[in-house]
Amino acid sequence: MLMTTQEDHTPIPYEKILNFILTYLLSGLTKHKWLVLCLSLSIISTAQKSRPLPEVEIGVKPLKEKKFGIKKRSPALHLIDGIVNQKSNYEIAQTVKLPPVPTKITSLNIYLQRTGVDSMTFRVHFYKYNGTKPAELAAPVLLFHKEVKEGWLNFDLHNEKIYLQGISVVSVEFVADQKPHEYLDFEVRLGGSTKTFHRYEQNEEWQTCPHHYLMHVTALVSDNWKDEEKDAAATHQIYSQQVKDSFYIFMQTPLHYNSAKKYPVVYLLDANAYFDAVSEHLRLLEWREKTDGVILVGIGYKNPYEMDSLRMRDYTFPKPLGSDSCSYCGGGDLFYSFIEKELMPFINSNYSVDTTKAGLAGHSLGGYFCLYAMAKEIKEKTLLFENYICLSPHLAYSDYSIFKTLQSLSSKKTKRIFIVCGGKEFENRHEKEKYDLLVKTISDESLASFETHFFPKADHMDTAIPGFEKGIEFSLKKK
């Protein structure tokens, strides 16, 4: 754009002419002299100099196409998704953090780890985000039929008028027109603040996933805008003499941490997967003034890939003689000793902890470990933990031997336990009966004060994130 001219009103020095005209006029104003005055003023006005300014070029920097979402692959650290039932339609959705102004979306991309299908029909959706789940549509739904192969599946949106802003939700719906033996495998990662959801029908409630898909959008933004997706990092590495291995510890202290005050503490298992989500929920509770603060201690491993295998070692206990066993299972007693004799003393000496208000939180095998730890403490009359957050515990481990352990105990309800399960976890009535038996056993034996929560539309993995959120709130309630 060019700026051309602007008038310069600097007066031209016509002093002699003006003096002559004024002298003439002052000698007596007549009709003839009045005409001379008007003509003189007109000449002086048009005689002012109009001088062009130098041309100034005002440049608008072009927008650049940048990626927003999860875009980096780490094959050695990523896992394969096994959460969706591909015999029916299903939709997976994920948050992306965009600039706070309307931003042109140019593509959507999702990584396919393996494929057993040549082509497939997809619907692409864009939603607003209400802070917890996808909300109303933010743009028209788009329909694609695409060739499918391993690698990045790209949906070109350059010719579509898709504009999003702030934290938004993008989704891909897979239309089940493939044959039963055909499949898609998605590479996923654990950890991070990205929110991921899935559902099977458009009118179904969204379920929150514990993992995240390699999914991102490209958008046109200014050159200085950056995608700031970050994962929590371990703050301590502790070598355990009990387990003979190192653990990576993730920490979060309250926003207004005061070392003169004692805080309740929650020890979170599988921290590589769940620490970001749980720590964010604790921050939300603080902002809403529902808690004065909690110290969160995440017990994790070097990376999510190691977590996926070593949790079998650390969260299980020796099986009865004669039962099937794996070479690396059954180290739960040593892991418990690590928490009791090495981790807790370290946390208590370095942070301002209320040792009478400690909680232990776990999902699946981690939930099973919570049950066993509670039973161990009741039997030994110790008070390592007051609260247990037990989500979808793996009850079938060691041929349901956890029931024999619990039924042999008696207690005065010095413990508190929060138990969660999902309606879609039970493939048959027998499994549902086992969960009912767990609650009945705890109640009949007066082992603990407890609450249960049932997510009717949730599968096994769907209970983790919402279960931890409700469990944390349970642990903060007064007795």
For the stretch 199-239, pLDDT in tens is: 988 888 999 998 899 999 999 998 777 766 677 789 999 99
198, 221, 244 - which closes a domain: 221
What are the tens digits of pLDDT across the range 245-292? 999 999 999 999 999 999 999 999 999 999 999 999 999 999 988 888
Q: Does the pLDDT at position 45 exceed 70?
A: no
Q: Are residues 334 and 459 in the same domain?
A: yes
CA distance 98 to 75: 26
Please give the pLDDT value at position 231. 75
Domain-embedded: residue 230: no
What are the tens digits of pLDDT across the range 445-472? 888 899 999 999 899 999 999 999 999 9
CA distance 173 to 84: 12
- Treating both helix axes as pointing N-terminal to C-terminal, what angle do 464-476 and 271-287 enclose, rounded to 10 degrees? 50
CA 79 to chain CA centroid, Å, is 18
Give the mean model confidence (pLDDT) for residues 362-375: 96
Q: Are residues 362 and 453 in the same domain?
A: yes
367, 280, 197, 465: CA torsion to nearest 10: 10
CATH number of domain containing 461: 3.40.50.1820
CA distance 371 to 366: 9
190, 221, 252 - which closes a domain: 221
Report CA-CA distances (Å) from 24 to 27, 39, 251, 340, 350.
6, 14, 94, 111, 99
Number of domains in the chain: 3
Q: Are residues 277 and 350 in the same domain?
A: yes
Quickly list H helices, 161-303: 271-287
CA count, 13 A, side-chain hemisphere, 408: 10
